Structure 1
Amino acid sequence: MTLAHSRQFSTSLNPINITSLSKQLIQLGRINNPNTFSDTTHHQQLQASSLISNLNNCTCLPQIKQLHCHVIRQGLDQSCYIITKLIRTLTNLNVPMDPYPRRIMNLVQFPNPFLYTSVIRGYAVQQNLSEAVTMYGSMRREGITPVSFTFSALLKACGSVGDLSLGRQFHAQTFKLSGFCSVYVGNTMIGFYVKCGDLESARKVFDEMPERDVISWTEVIAAYAKSGDMESAEGMFERLPKKDVVAWTAMVTGFVQNAKPLEAVECFDRMERSGVLPDEVTVAGFISACAQLGDSKYADRAVEMALKFGYSLRDHVVIGSALIDMYSKCGNVEEAVKVFESMKNKNVFTYSSMILGLAMHGRAKEALDLFHYMVTQTTIKPNNVTFVGVLTACSHAGLVDQGRQMFASMHQTFGVEPTREHYTCMVDLLGRVGRLQEALEVVQTMSVEPHGGVWGALLGACRIHKDPDVAEIAAKRLFELEPDVIGNYILLCNVYASAGDWDGVLRVRRLIKEKGLKKTPAVSWVVDEKGQMHKFSPGNMNHPMSDKIQGTLEELVERLNVLGYQPDLSSVPYNASDDEKRSILTRHTEKLALAFSLITTSRDCTIKIMKNLRMCQDCHTFMRLASEVTGRVIIVRDNMRFHRFRSGACSCGDFW
């Protein structure tokens, strides 16, 4: 009987009817041997094959119930093979394990390990670890030995909830029962330890595996990459006998995650030369690397690569979203908008990328308008990332009331629970407008424990508004949470310096020295017309054009003085003479990069400068006035946002 003919049977069999019919069939002798599928008659085997084929095509619960009816009528409801397949299909359709799938299993008189495992896997997939463990206990009490898939399901479940202790117990069980049952279990075990943050145990499992495959290698490579240990990741990658696209992708994305964009691009080039074709994730990683490099020449190459490997910008959401992010971070938000508008398919990540891109370029109104369009004119629901973009837009534009409304609507209207990142945005918003006490109250009343980012936002606001009292509160917590992050000490040092508290500056510097912390050196870079990157560090005189750069800077300062430029000496956190401070400010890296660009580019060319740290107040004023006297558009991307200087004005409206 075919699926089409089954319309005559009920599509909503309840468990009681199934139980009754099954018992009747057993009593009537319809089941030859309820224990194994292999002992069924030839006719039943043919029926089973047909049922399995139809199960593979099921897309909804009513269809499965129809087929379950056939299973019972054909006397196959005691076949572990058939029922296992039935339960796996129900799991794949996300049908709750209780009551339907669990009762189906309970009706089987002689369940085998594969049937037990299908139920364990179902509970694990549905995040019900306690029931999965209970089912495992029942299995062991019945004297049934688990198979490799049993442990892989349990370990994945433990990893998904971060239960390291329970996962270790199952790890021990694999040795007690049969050692490493398979490479598959070993790989799952590595993944479990990685998810729980125990990289040492993950590496130990890898080292002790008698047999490994490319997945084993890739899991461990990706785990060192995620932890920031790219040196170890590279070492293992080079030892990998056969490098497939997944392994190459792990390295490309690892370099991107660890802010090594040039290395990511080089790795992608090696992959291409080796003859391995990248997939969508690899191309997206390459695009992210180009975004970090922040120049349109790399952006053009990223688009070229995407098209070369057949990824249409209109049809591939992942690639399109990555390109929106890349163009935004390369200072070309107009091109990002073009990509967004050209995309046929959009999802929440596409909208979120565009909202955040507009926000970082100071186009708050457009960002908020796009958000309102998304939630009112489409069926797309905002997520955590969307609200980070929305709140960032409010923060960069000083829209306190709108920011408060958006923050409140997250949970009340859209069911999105605020995370630490959202609280960071709110603290940043209030701090930028000088409401430091309100910002402190937000931190102290958070629904989750504040992390370093939240306290760091508050400390940064104290630097802007020269409030050492609140700064000391924030710094104290930061030093507890992130005792080795030198940026926190530098921020507090700057707060003391801006308030003229040089004793405070000395105390912090002494603390930095005692801890042996190294300051992150400021670096700015530009890419010339040939695609070559030029980096500038403070007072760097090693550049071949250093004399011309210095001369151009001196000439530019004289022209700015006519407009009333006076160096902002408070931007130098040192107790030095005014002349020494002026000299230090002149050597700031973005000014050196600007002078180089003025020498090497034509007058109609937009100057794009990237910097790894936040731009100081003096450099911001300098760039704004320089755009007026030179007639050039100057774009500076620091670690906070984009500044687009044109005709003496900045896109941030001097609110940053």
Structure 2
Amino acid sequence: MVSLPQKFSTTSPSILIRRQCFKPQEPKTPDQPFIPFSQLQERKLLESELISVLHNCTELSQIKQVHSHIIRKGLDQCCFVLTKLLRMLTKIEAPMDPYPRLIFDQVIRIGGLDLDLFVGNTMIDMYVKCGCLDCGRKVFDEMPDRDVISWTSLIVAYAKGGDMENALGLFDALPMKDMVAWTAMITGYAQNSRPMEALEFFEKMQNAGIETDEVTLAGAISASAQLGAAKYANWVRDVAEKSGFGPADNVVVGSALIDMYSKCGSLEDAYKVFERMREQNVFSYSSMIVGFAMHGFASEALKLFEEMLKTEVKPNKVTFVGVLTACSHTGLVEQGRHLFQIMGKCYGVEPSADHYACMVDLLGRAGCLEEALELIRTMPMVPHGGVWGALLGASRIHGNPDVAEIAANHLFELEPNGIGNYILLSNIYASAGRWEDVLRVRKLMRGKGLKKNPACSLVEGKEGVIHEFYAGDMTHPKTGEIKRALKDLLERLKFDGYQPNLSSAPYDVSDEDKKQILMAHSEKLALAYGLLCTDAGCTIRIVKNLRICEDCHLVMCGASKITSRQIVIRDNMRFHHFRDGTCSCGNFW
């Protein structure tokens, strides 16, 4: 309970709130009696005491109590006191209750137009924080005057909610667009997996001559990382350098650039950024370790981890996610077990659900499915989707539909609309020839109204232009040339011993139909285009939204050998570097 001055009584707040709701006092007029100076002084002291008490409130009931004294002492006509009351309501995030709106309406009624801006922004902020965006928009629409804070608060809120159309509408209507507003749009598009639009906004911002800061760059860097295109990555880095946020001087931007280059498949550039940084901290080390891990360079990740331990920089949770992932992607089971056991004892980093997910992935990939399942059962916290997802993925690798069912049933509860889980279970059943179970899962998907995301692959052509291919889609302007190039490539691969992996087409159709399905996979179309439209010897970089299938992996290995090209593919799990007929994953993914 908040400690109130002794001279305050504890009249029931509910009664006094009703007084305010149904019998509001009228604004004071110039005809009212003159208040002597001594009374004004006493009133100021009372205001100060009330505000001091408000600052110590932590619950709504402590505030519907202080407000009762405000009314009793005649201060319910004081905008200064009431706006302080609103601010405290914002801090405890209580706007779902109608009470704050009553306070807001009273302030507007007695305060005049000059106070609308401040109070309105307070109310918008309050509603946005509790997720009541419609109420915040209503306040915004009612305000006679707005500033950039009013607009930007709503833009950020719409962006966080994934409603970029409303965010864009507000941004376009904003009279004076400052750095914060531009950054809100760039970050919003990046956070909603719309990287091209984020980078388009970033370019418009540069053309408009708007200053760039670390937050703006973080959004643009994130978008470049999602897109996976070297051209955009280099451009964003150049802007960072010109804006005075080069990786050598700014450890935050430097760490983000390491992550960006790693996700763009340019591990060499990522390491160059790391080496150039004058200051190293846990974020830069962790970014580089995670970069090595996602590319399958476990020895490099573990070596850098050992170098980090020799410095004053202490590992954190992300660092251990990186080293455990490195062990998982290369089958270093014993080393992974050791790191998992000592991370809390030796480094004070207690394993989280993410670390357990790494261990389940490590054990599962190595074929230790029962041990992985037992580890989940002994977790000190509730397993999240990543933990069960790791077990489901391992069950696919080793063709174990029984363990897959256990993992999938938990995922269906945790992620009822996660269509990827249904598809993966269906594919596991198909590989085992359990077609009735395949039909059952597909019926379950239809009943929930779930639709499979189409497989999509991006490839960077000449001059950094991004080309997009969907599975079975033949609408590209060069479709004829692409089909001929792909057919020629597959014929050459057959002479080298290639045979299609028909299990990668999990459909109950003829073998010939399966071959046609496999030939139209999006990464194969992207590869054929890359071979057609890039110079000989150039690395072909492909980004896929789903996991690469076994047949496409086999084709990429063969293609890297007979074309003498390096092929880098980033799927939704990791990176694969194909060179001279082999992959960096060692066929362990």
Query: TM over 0.5, yes or no?
Result: yes
Deviates more, 1:544-553 or 1:168-177: 168-177
Instruction: State the Cα distance separating 1:290 from its structure 2 match.
Output: 1.5
Q: State which of 420, 443, 450 in structure 2 corresponds to 1:517.
A: 450
1:462 maps to what in 2?
A: 395
Residues 117 and 149 in structure 1, CA contact (< 8 A), matched pair in contact too: no
User: For residue 270 of structure 1, what is the amino acid of its counterpart?
Assistant: K
Q: State which of 419, 438, 442 in structure 1 corresponds to 2:371.
A: 438
Instruction: State the Cα distance separating 1:156 from its structure 2 match.
Output: 5.1
Q: CA, structure 1 residues 384+645, in 2 after alignment: closer, same or farther (shift >3 Å)?
A: same
Residues 371 and 390 in structure 1, CA contact (< 8 A), matched pair in contact too: yes
User: C-alpha separation between the residues in 2 aligned to 1:566 and 1:604?
Assistant: 26
User: C-alpha separation between the residues in 2 aligned to 1:459 and 1:158?
Assistant: 41
Q: TM-score, normalised by structure 1?
A: 0.76
Q: CA, structure 1 residues 442+215, in 2 after alignment: closer, same or farther (shift >3 Å)?
A: farther
Instruction: State the Cα distance separating 1:115 from its structure 2 match.
Output: 6.5
Instruction: State the Cα distance separating 1:264 from its structure 2 match.
Output: 0.6
Q: State which of 272, 280, 283 in structure 1 corresponds to 2:206.
A: 272
2:81 maps to what in 1?
A: 147
User: For residue 427 of structure 2, what is the amino acid of its counterpart?
Assistant: N
Instruction: State the Cα distance separating 1:110 from its structure 2 match.
Output: 8.8
1:607 maps to what in 2?
A: 540
Root-mean-square deviation (Å): 3.0
SS of 2:92 mapped into structure 1? helix
Q: CA, structure 1 residues 367+111, in 2 after alignment: closer, same or farther (shift >3 Å)?
A: farther
2:550 equivalent to 1:633: no
1:297 maps to what in 2?
A: 231
User: C-alpha separation between the residues in 2 aligned to 1:220 and 1:605?
Assistant: 45
User: C-alpha separation between the residues in 2 aligned to 1:602 and 1:391?
Assistant: 38
Structure 2 unaligned residues grouped into runs of 5+? 1-36
Instruction: State the Cα distance separating 1:363 from its structure 2 match.
Output: 1.4
2:516 equivalent to 1:577: no
Deviates more, 1:626-635 or 1:280-289: 280-289
Q: TM-score, normalised by structure 2?
A: 0.84
Cα deviation code 1:464-521 (max 9, x no counterpart): 2222112222222222232222212111111111111111111112222222222101
Cα deviation code 1:579-598 (max 9, x no counterpart): 11111111111111111111
Instruction: State the Cα distance separating 1:331 from its structure 2 match.
Output: 0.8
Structure 1 unaligned residues grouped into runs of 5+? 1-38, 40-79, 81-108
Residues 50 and 66 in structure 2, CA contact (< 8 A), matched pair in contact too: no
Q: State which of 164, 184, 187 in structure 2 corresponds to 1:250.
A: 184
Instruction: State the Cα distance separating 1:174 from its structure 2 match.
Output: 4.8
Residues 424 and 457 in structure 1, CA contact (< 8 A), matched pair in contact too: yes
User: For residue 540 of structure 2, what is the amino acid of its counterpart?
Assistant: I
Residues 155 and 188 in structure 1, CA contact (< 8 A), matched pair in contact too: no
User: C-alpha separation between the residues in 1 aligned to 2:364 and 2:98?
Assistant: 45
User: For residue 553 of structure 1, what is the amino acid of its counterpart?
Assistant: L
2:412 maps to what in 1?
A: 479
User: For residue 256 of structure 1, what is the amino acid of its counterpart?
Assistant: A
User: C-alpha separation between the residues in 2 aligned to 1:445 and 1:187?
Assistant: 49
User: For residue 636 of structure 1, what is the amino acid of its counterpart?
Assistant: I
Instruction: State the Cα distance separating 1:352 from its structure 2 match.
Output: 2.0
Q: CA, structure 1 residues 362+188, in 2 after alignment: closer, same or farther (shift >3 Å)?
A: farther
User: C-alpha separation between the residues in 1 aligned to 2:490 and 2:529?
Assistant: 14
User: C-alpha separation between the residues in 2 aligned to 1:189 and 1:418?
Assistant: 40
Number of residues paired by the alignment?
540
Instruction: State the Cα distance separating 1:175 from its structure 2 match.
Output: 4.8
2:242 maps to what in 1?
A: 308
Map 1:221-232 → 2, pairs under 5 A: 221-232=155-166
Residues 82 and 107 in structure 2, CA contact (< 8 A), matched pair in contact too: no
User: For residue 514 of structure 2, what is the amino acid of its counterpart?
Assistant: K
Instruction: State the Cα distance separating 1:226 from its structure 2 match.
Output: 1.5
Residues 187 and 215 in structure 1, CA contact (< 8 A), matched pair in contact too: yes
User: C-alpha separation between the residues in 1 aligned to 2:140 and 2:167?
Assistant: 13
1:403 maps to what in 2?
A: 336
Q: CA, structure 1 residues 221+557, in 2 after alignment: closer, same or farther (shift >3 Å)?
A: same
1:281 maps to what in 2?
A: 215
1:238 maps to what in 2?
A: 172
Structure scoring higher RCO (CA < 8 A, sep ≥ 6) equals 2
1:12 maps to what in 2?
A: none
User: C-alpha separation between the residues in 1 aligned to 2:433 and 2:54?
Assistant: 65
User: For residue 552 of structure 2, what is the amino acid of its counterpart?
Assistant: C
Deviates more, 1:406-415 or 1:447-456: 406-415
User: C-alpha separation between the residues in 2 aligned to 1:555 and 1:341?
Assistant: 43
1:422 maps to what in 2?
A: 355
2:571 equivalent to 1:654: no
SS of 1:301 mapped into structure 2? helix
2:556 equivalent to 1:623: yes
Q: State which of 528, 545, 549 in structure 1 corresponds to 2:482.
A: 549
Residues 151 and 185 in structure 1, CA contact (< 8 A), matched pair in contact too: no
User: C-alpha separation between the residues in 1 aligned to 2:438 and 2:54?
Assistant: 60
Cα deviation code 1:253-289 (max 9, x no counterpart): 1111111111011111222233322222112211221
User: C-alpha separation between the residues in 2 aligned to 1:414 and 1:117?
Assistant: 45
User: C-alpha separation between the residues in 1 aligned to 2:407 and 2:138?
Assistant: 40
Identity over aligned pairs, percent: 55
User: For residue 445 of structure 2, what is the amino acid of its counterpart?
Assistant: I
Residues 486 and 512 in structure 1, CA contact (< 8 A), matched pair in contact too: yes
Cα deviation code 1:414-461 (max 9, x no counterpart): 444444333332222222222222323333333333333332222222
Q: CA, structure 1 residues 137+350, in 2 after alignment: closer, same or farther (shift >3 Å)?
A: farther
Instruction: State the Cα distance separating 1:325 from its structure 2 match.
Output: 1.1
User: C-alpha separation between the residues in 2 aligned to 1:174 and 1:490?
Assistant: 50
User: C-alpha separation between the residues in 2 aligned to 1:450 and 1:168?
Assistant: 38
Q: CA, structure 1 residues 429+204, in 2 after alignment: closer, same or farther (shift >3 Å)?
A: farther
Instruction: State the Cα distance separating 1:303 from its structure 2 match.
Output: 1.6
SS of 2:462 mapped into structure 1? coil
1:323 maps to what in 2?
A: 257
1:341 maps to what in 2?
A: 275
2:314 equivalent to 1:377: no
Map 1:204-215 → 2, pairs under 5 A: 204-215=138-149
Residues 154 and 170 in structure 1, CA contact (< 8 A), matched pair in contact too: no
